[in-house]
Amino acid sequence: MSKETVKVLVVGPSKSGKTTVTNFLCGTRETPTSKYYETNPLRIVETEIELDTTSLSDRRVVFAGGDAKTKRVVVQIWDLGGSSKHQAGWPAVANKADGIIFVFNPEVKNGEKELSLWHKTFAVNQSELDAAGNFAIRVPDKQCLVFAHHSSPPANAAGTGLPAMPKGLEKIKVLETSLDYHSDNFKAAFDKLVETIVLARMDAEEDEVLQREGKMNL
């Protein structure tokens, strides 16, 4: 059974629920407490996800040159504190990220607008330009999620009142999340995100092999 590692960042403003979300995705749940503990500045945890190859398209059924029906993926979740005082270390955190989960508290006025900074810092590589002269994309939209996380009773009815995403995040899937109130199935969305990352990596590897073979045939 083959295994590989992917790196997923969990970023967003302070007190938005990033650590709560991370713990849940890793299969743990913290003891309820009214005291807030800041993540300072970074916490890295791991979880494993087993992908069913039979649910994928035919050309991707075989993962490692064999006939394995499953593929284990080790997911490193980088739970980053929301304070900007550690901003100097953010480029190192962003390096080689495969996916990003942006977390904000929808009960905080304009909380979603703060995500613009996090998107520009982690999903976009502002030190590199693409062929069109725009900042290069480090992590594409399909490998990102936005969690509107409720740690207290929502002010609006479930599924209503979520704010529009700021520029740059409009095409990223948004889920309403909570451990205690109405919530979308964000664990399933997380598993799907990991699958998308793995398939994108396979596509890139296939393209690289084809390019090498093309050069050899010249």
Per-residue pLDDT reduced to its tens digit, 198-217:
888 888 777 777 777 776 66
Residue 174 has a pLDDT of: 93
Residue 29 has a pLDDT of: 64
Average pLDDT over residues 95-120: 90
Yes or no: say if 113 and 139 are a contact pair by the CB < 8 Å rule: no
- Structure confidence by residue, pLDDT tens digits, 153-202: 666 655 556 788 888 899 999 998 888 777 778 899 999 999 999 888 88
Count of Cβ atoms closer than 10 Å to residue 125 Cβ: 18
Average pLDDT over residues 36-51: 80
Mean pLDDT taken over the chain:
81
Residue 83 has a pLDDT of: 84
Burial of 133 (0-12, 13-18, 19+ CB in 10 A): exposed
Residue 54 clears pLDDT 70, i.e. is over it: no
Residue 68 has a pLDDT of: 63
Yes or no: say if 55 and 63 are a contact pair by the CB < 8 Å rule: no
Residue 61 clears pLDDT 70, i.e. is over it: no
Higher pLDDT, 113 or 181: 113
pLDDT band at 100 (very low <50, low <70, confident <90, very high): very high
Residue 144 has a pLDDT of: 96
Residue 57 clears pLDDT 60, i.e. is over it: no
pLDDT band at 58 (very low <50, low <70, confident <90, very high): very low
Q: Which residue has the tokens 């699958």?
A: 195
**% pLDDT > 70, the chain:** 79
Alpha-carbon gap, residue 89 to 54, rounded angstroms? 40
The DSSP symbol for 180 reads S
Average pLDDT over residues 36-56: 76
Average pLDDT over residues 16-38: 74
Residue 90 clears pLDDT 50, i.e. is over it: yes
Report whether the peptide linkage leading into residue 153 is cis, meaning its omega lies within 30 degrees of zero.
no
Instruction: Report CA torsion sign: 162, 167, 173, 175.
Output: negative
Q: Which fold has domain 3-216?
A: Rossmann fold (3.40.50)
